[in-house]
């Protein structure tokens, strides 16, 4: 290659290098300038997400500007060489070389022809060129323009690219969104939702006014059913919006420009959202989910005031329910809910309001579907017509319906079983009055079976008693005597006649009882019927619906048929006088059936006025008839009494009255003597110690004398093997009695002087008894001493002891009599009046005595000793009255007490007689028999009096009540035992 070409090549190469590197540097600089704003502004997208286009525009502008500037400045810095000189200059280290190179280059550039043309020597030119070539060979373009000169630019460019990539990768979306926005394919910009206001209108039932709240967050709170309207302003107008609530409920939002509103009804709690659309795309609103809270409409609060706690009531007695209730808004209605075998709801009558109260009665038997009992509560409903009325319930209590009828039916079945068994057993005995061995064994076996049955029935009867049915006591009443009679027969201690008598007596008793029970059952039905009728009337007045009333009428019809059936003895015999009474025979079947029919017709037609009138008429007819029926039952109960027995019963009340009068006089007398007794006691206290010591000394003397007497007795005669056990026992018993009396007397002397006197009086008797047992066995003691001497000594000792005891009695009598001295004048005056009363009492008792004497003459069933007993009572009253008249009230007290005792015995005797007992008559069979040696009670079994039954019921109810309260009565077990004992008394 020629120098020229070489040099040109060098220069061209340098130029290219400079141009290449320069342009590369300019590019790098420009790239850096371009990317830097983009990178920097990309960080603003998250800060200004709503302005992607603005940011993009800003970034583009700044990039282009910066790119232009950097390109310009870069280009200025790295512009290509404009001449060979510049190239040579740049290549060469000194001027010569530059010159040479430039020349050589020029020459080379001229070519041969050009050089010739310019007059240049060719050789020179060649030399020049050669030199230039030589020299230029050493020149290096990389040395003339090293890469390092543009390295910073390159680095900048590279860094820009890297940062750009990093930024793009790390925070994508901003520019993309901006570009999509610019291209028209991107999402809507974020939408601001603000200036919210809420209008909440509570549901009508609450009665609350609506409320508008401005500047709210959007969280909603209100009662279910409230109407809510949300209004607000948007960041930019949108085309549509949607409200999305709980459970996916969606409601379109009304949009008007940049304003929106939406209304919905509060139903469920949760949250809601708003979404908007623009141009068919989501306009991302800055409205996050807002809460919906429901205010709770409280349930009505209900209080049950009556009944207070679990109760037991007769099914035919109305139960009164008293209640009250309240609600945050209003109680609109309520039910009395009875949950028994089935549920019954009885609407409550009330005036709607936030505070309500009322009372409602219901008749258990009017609702037979309830069964034997029901849980009772009151349910009240509020007026919530949005989610439906909410109910509140009172506490629940349990009511047991005591169905007298059911209990009686149970009882009847129970008694009938026993009745049949006893009758069969009686038949067995009567058909085998002289049984052989086999027959006797069979009779004994049957007897044992009867006892087994009796056991079972007694157990059930006890349960029946617990149910409060007095008739249940029938089994208990006869149990003891029947069991004993059978036992005696089985053990061979009693003969068959005793058992037959007992069976006859008990069978008659149960037969009577069953008849009376059936009658009672009919009356109970009557009571229930009356209660049902009254209930129907009341329900009618309360406007109960026709269907329920018709049911009630049908129930009355059914019960009426039942009672008619029962009183016509189709379900077993009733007492004859009752069954044959006018009330039974002329029952108003037709009249009542006709009224009921008319009543049903009136109800069906909706003629309430006529129905009420008919119901009233029905009620009157029924009550009149039931009254007659009860009268017939009363007459039946008393009907079989003879006139003498009726008079006897009348006299019984006079005896009871006399007892009460004597008790009054005794009480008054005691009051009068109290003061005097206290005074006397005070005076006595001063000398009590000496006095007591004296008495104790006497008692000790008597006891010592007795021991000494014992020592004079032949022990073998009292305790020897030959002596009969009975005699030994008798002696030991008498001895014990003597010393016991002494001990008791010491005690009485300290505490009860009146009692001490009574005790002291039996002391000599105790001494005498021992003397009687020992006197004949006195022996010379010690052995060998003369018997006579021993006997004399024995008598002396006895005399001493007896004297001491008499002295005690004398002292006591003197002491007690001395109390009269302490009586004040006023007390003595009052005593005179009491003495007059006692005299009148004595006369009254005398009249009773006379009347009883006459009655005994008229009726063989009234024993004569009743009159005698009355005479004894009169005598005691007379003695007491005499003492009182003499101003000796203390002395009258024993007489008064004796009068009460005798009158009490008289009353018992009269009661026995009136119940058919005739002690001493001994005619055997049928119930009128005396007590026998076998200990069997021969008196006629009597039905417990109604008053007793009342007492039992009261006791039982008390026990039950306390048990419910967890508070068992004091001595509960003993009381219950007494309760049962009374039943079989």
Partner 1 sequence: MRRVKRVATIILAAVFIFAGAVSAREVYGLSSGTVDFYTGNALLEEWRIPEARAFVDDLMERTPEDTSALLLDGHVRFFEGDYKGALKRLDEVGVTGAFRELVKVTSDIAAGFKSRSSEHFEIFWENPKDEVLAEPALEGLEASYSELSKLLGFRPEGRVRVEIYPTVADFTAVSTLTREEVETSGTIGLCKFNRLMITSPRATFFGYRWRDTLCHEFAHLAVFRLSGGNAPIWIHEGLARYFEGSWRGRSGRMTPFALNLLSKRYSEGTLIPLDKMSPSVAKLPSAEDTSLAFAEVGTMVSYLIEHRGGEAPRRLLAQLAEGRGDREAFSEVWGGTFASFEEEWRQWVEKLSVPAEDLEVMGIALKDSGGEPEQGKIPDPEAKDYTRLGDMLRTRGRMEAASVEYEKGFRLLPDNPAVVSKYALGRIFLGEYQAALDAVAPVISLYEDRSSLWMRKGEALLALERYDEAASAFNELMEINPFDEPGRVGLVRALSGSGREEEHARAVKDLELITGGAPSGAHP
Q: Which residues bind partner 1 (CB under 8 A)?
A: 420, 423-424, 426-431, 433, 504, 507-508, 511, 567-569, 573-574, 576, 579-580, 582, 584-586, 861, 916, 923, 925-928
Give least dist CB 499 to partner 1, A.
14
C-beta of 573 vs 616, nearer to partner 1: 573
**CB of 745 closer than 8 Å to CB of 767:** no
Closest contact distance (angstroms) between CB of 375 and partner 1 is: 42
Q: What are the phi and psi torsion angles at 358 (to 5°)?
A: 180, 175
Pick between residue 584 and residue 804 the one whose CB is nearest to partner 1.
584
Beta carbon of residue 504, minimum distance to partner 1 (angstroms, whole number): 6
First-residue to last-residue Cα distance in the chain = 163
Alpha helices, DSSP H, located in 752-786: 753-774
Q: How far is the CB of 470 from partner 1 (least distance, A)?
A: 24
Residue 662 Cβ vs partner 1, minimum distance, rounded to whole Å = 34
In the bound complex, what is the minimum distance in angstroms from residue 404's beta carbon to partner 1?
23
Q: Which is nearer to partner 1, 4 or 587 (CB)?
A: 587
**Cα dist from 649 to 332, 638, 848, 910, whole Å:** 61, 11, 12, 8
Which tokens in the block code for residue 506? Answer: 């008990």
CB of 586 to partner 1, least distance (A): 7
Write a three-state SS string for 695-726: HHHHHHHHHHHHHHHHHCECHHHHHCCCCCHH
Least distance CB 431 / partner 1 (angstroms): 5
Q: How far is the CB of 501 from partner 1 (least distance, A)?
A: 11
If one counts every other C-beta atom within 10 angstroms of the C-beta of residue 682, the result is 10
Two tokens, residue 735: 């001895």
Helix (H) or strand (E) holding 32: helix 3-42
**C-beta of 871 vs 927, nearer to partner 1:** 927
Of 579 and 873, nearer to partner 1 (C-beta) is 579
Could you tell me the smallest distance in angstroms from the CB atom of residue 636 to partner 1? Answer: 12
Q: How far is the CB of 474 from partner 1 (least distance, A)?
A: 16
Angle formed by the axes of helices 589-605 and 546-567, to 10°?
Answer: 170
Beta-carbon contacts of residue 799 (< 8 Å; ≥ 6 apart): none
Dist CA 911 CA 972 (whole Å) = 31
- C-alpha dihedral sign at 528, 530, 533, 539: negative
Residue 64 or 508 having the CB closest to partner 1 = 508
HEC assignment per residue over 255-288:
EECCEEEEEEECCCCEEEEEEEEECCEEECECCC
- Phi and psi angles of residue 64, each rounded to the nearest 5 degrees, phi first: -65, -45
User: Looking at beta carbons only, is 591 or 617 nearer to partner 1?
Assistant: 591
- When the beta carbons of 525 and 770 are compared against partner 1, the nearer one is 525
Residues 6+ apart with CB under 8 A from 721: none
| Minimum distance, C-beta of residue 584 to partner 1, in the bound complex (Å) | 6
Residue 67 or residue 592: which is nearer to partner 1 going by CB? 592
Identify which of residues 263 and 569 has a Cβ nearer to partner 1 in the complex. Answer: 569
With b for 16 or more beta-carbon neighbours within 10 A and e for fewer, the 36-73 pattern comes to: bbbbebbebbeeeebbbbebbebbbebbeebbeebbee
SS3 category, 545: coil
To partner 1, the closest distance from the beta carbon of 877 in angstroms equals 34
Within 467-495, residue ranges assigned H as helices are 473-491
Q: Which is nearer to partner 1, 431 or 957 (CB)?
A: 431
Question: Cβ(771)–Cβ(709) under 8 Å?
Answer: yes
Are 676 and 852 spatial neighbours (Cβ–Cβ below 8 Å)?
no
Smallest gap from residue 565 Cβ to partner 1 (A): 11
Q: Which CB sits closer to partner 1, 79 or 923?
A: 923
In the complex with partner 1, which residue's Cβ is closer, 172 or 860?
860
Residue 681: C-alpha distances to residues 668, 690, 824, 885, 894 (Å): 20, 14, 15, 24, 19
Residue 894 in tokens: 């024993």
CB of 559 to partner 1, least distance (A): 18
Whole-angstrom Cα distance, residue 903 to residue 486? 36
Structure-token match 């007690």, residue found: 816
696 CB burial (10 A radius; 0-12, 13-18, 19+):
middle
24 burial (CB, 10 Å; 0-12 / 13-18 / 19+) is middle
- Tokens matching residue 625: 């008839």
**Least CB distance to partner 1 at residue 528 (A):** 21
552 CB neighbour count, 10 Å cutoff = 23
Smallest distance, Å, CB 365 to partner 1?
25
Residues 6+ apart with CB under 8 A from 609: none
* Structure-token match 């029952």, residue found: 587
Cβ-count burial of 358 within 10 angstroms (0-12 exposed, 13-18 middle, 19+ buried)?
A: middle
């Amino acid at each position: 290659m020629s120098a020229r070409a070489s040099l040109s090549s060098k220069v061209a190469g340098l130029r290219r290098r400079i141009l290449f590197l320069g342009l590369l540097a300019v590019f790098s600089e420009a790239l850096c300038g371009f990317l830097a704003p983009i990178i920097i502004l990309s960080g603003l997208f998250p800060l200004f997400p709503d302005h992607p286009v603005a940011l993009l525009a800003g970034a583009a502008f700044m990039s282009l500007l910066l790119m232009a500037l950097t390109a310009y400045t870069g280009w200025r810095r790295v512009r290509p060489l404009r001449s060979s000189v510049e190239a040579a200059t740049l290549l060469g280290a000194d001027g010569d070389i530059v010159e040479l190179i430039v020349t050589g280059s020029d020459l080379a550039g001229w070519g041969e022809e050009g050089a010739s043309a310019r007059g240049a020597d060719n050789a020179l030119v060649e030399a020049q060129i050669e030199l230039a070539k030589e020299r230029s060979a050493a020149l290096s373009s990389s040395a003339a323009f090293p890469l390092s000169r543009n390295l910073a630019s390159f680095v900048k460019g590279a860094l820009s690219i890297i940062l750009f990539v990093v930024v793009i990768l790390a925070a994508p979306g901003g520019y993309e969104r901006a570009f999509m926005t610019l291209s028209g394919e991107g999402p809507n910009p974020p939408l601001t939702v603000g200036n919210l206001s809420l209008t909440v209108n509570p549901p009508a039932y609450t009665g609350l006014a609506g409320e508008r709240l401005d500047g709210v967050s959007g969280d909603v709170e209100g009662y279910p059913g409230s109407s809510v309207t949300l209004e607000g302003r948007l960041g930019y107008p949108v085309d549509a919006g949607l409200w999305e609530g709980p459970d996916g409920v969606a409601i379109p939002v009304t949009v008007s420009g940049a304003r929106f509103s939406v209304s919905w009804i509060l139903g469920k709690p949760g949250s809601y959202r708003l979404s908007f659309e623009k141009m068919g795309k989501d306009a991302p609103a800055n409205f996050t989910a807002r809460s919906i809270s429901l205010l709770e409409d409280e349930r009505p609060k209900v209080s049950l005031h009556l009944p207070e706690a679990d109760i037991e009531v007769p099914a035919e007695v109305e139960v009164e329910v008293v209640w009250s209730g309240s609600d945050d808004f209003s109680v609109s209605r309520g039910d009395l809910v009875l949950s028994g075998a089935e549920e019954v709801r009885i609407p409550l009558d009330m005036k709607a309001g936030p505070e309500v109260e009322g009372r409602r009665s219901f008749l258990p038997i009017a609702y037979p579907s309830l069964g034997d009992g029901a849980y009772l509560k009151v349910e009240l409903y509020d007026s919530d017509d949005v989610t439906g009325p909410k109910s509140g319930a009172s506490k629940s209590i349990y009511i047991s319906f005591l169905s007298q009828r059911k209990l009686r039916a149970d009882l009847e079945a129970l008694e009938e079983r026993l009745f049949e068994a006893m009758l069969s057993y009686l038949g067995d005995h009567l058909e085998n009055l002289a049984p052989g061995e086999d027959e006797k064994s069979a009779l004994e076996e049957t007897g044992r079976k009867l006892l087994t049955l009796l056991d079972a029935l007694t157990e059930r009867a006890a349960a029946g008693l617990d149910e409060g049915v007095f008739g249940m006591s029938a089994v208990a009443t006869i149990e003891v005597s029947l069991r004993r009679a059978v036992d005696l027969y089985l053990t061979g201690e009693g003969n068959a006649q005793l058992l037959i008598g007992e069976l006859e007596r008990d069978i008659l008793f149960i037969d009577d009882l069953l008849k009376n029970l059936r009658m009672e059952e009919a009356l109970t039905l009557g009571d229930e019927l009356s209660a049902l009728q009254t209930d129907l009337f009341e329900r009618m007045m309360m406007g109960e619906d026709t269907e329920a009333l018709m049911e009630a009428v049908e129930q009355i019809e059914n019960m009426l048929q039942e009672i008619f059936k029962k009183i016509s003895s189709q379900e077993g015999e009733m007492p004859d006088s009752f069954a044959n009474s006018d009330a039974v025979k002329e029952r108003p079947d037709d009249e009542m059936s006709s009224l009921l029919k008319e009543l049903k017709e009136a109800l069906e037609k909706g003629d309430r006025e006529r129905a009420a009138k008919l119901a009233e008429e029905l009620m009157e007819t029924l009550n009149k008839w039931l009254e007659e029926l009860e009268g017939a039952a009363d007459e039946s109960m008393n009907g079989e009494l003879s006139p003498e027995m009726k008079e006897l019963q009348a006299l019984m009340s006079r005896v009871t009255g006399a007892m009460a009068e004597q008790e009054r006089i005794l009480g008054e007398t005691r009051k009068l003597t109290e003061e005097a007794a206290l005074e006397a006691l005070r005076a006595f206290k001063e000398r009590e110690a000496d006095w007591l010591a004296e008495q104790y000394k006497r008692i000790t003397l008597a006891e010592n004398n007795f021991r000494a007497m014992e020592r004079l007795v032949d022990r073998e005669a009292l305790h020897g093997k030959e002596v009969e056990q009975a005699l030994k026992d008798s002696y030991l018993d008498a001895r014990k009695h003597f010393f016991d009396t002494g001990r008791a007397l010491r005690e009485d002397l300290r505490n009860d002087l009146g009692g001490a006197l009574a005790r002291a009086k039996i002391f000599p008797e105790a001494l005498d008894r021992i003397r009687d047992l020992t006197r004949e066995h006195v022996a010379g003691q010690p052995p060998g001493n003369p018997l006579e001497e021993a006997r004399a000594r024995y008598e002396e000792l006895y005399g001493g002891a007896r004297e001491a005891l008499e002295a005690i009695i004398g002292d006591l009598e003197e002491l007690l009599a001395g109390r009269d001295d302490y009586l004040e004048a006023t007390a003595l005056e009052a005593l005179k009046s009491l003495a007059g009363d006692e005299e009148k009492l004595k006369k009254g008792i005398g009249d009773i005595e006379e009347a009883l004497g006459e009655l005994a003459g008229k009726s063989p069933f009234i024993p004569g000793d009743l009159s005698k007993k009355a005479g004894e009572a009169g005598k005691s009253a007379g003695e007491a009255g005499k003492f009182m008249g003499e101003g000796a009230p203390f002395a009258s007290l024993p007489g008064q007490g004796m009068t009460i005792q005798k009158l009490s015995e008289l009353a018992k005797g009269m009661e026995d007689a009136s119940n058919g007992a005739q002690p001493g008559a001994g005619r055997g069979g049928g119930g009128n028999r005396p007590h026998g040696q076998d200990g069997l009670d021969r008196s006629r079994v009597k039905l417990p009096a109604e008053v007793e039954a009342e007492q039992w019921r009261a006791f039982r109810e008390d026990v039950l009540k306390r048990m419910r309260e967890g508070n068992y009565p004091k001595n509960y077990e003993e009381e219950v035992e007494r309760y049962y004992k009374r039943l079989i008394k």
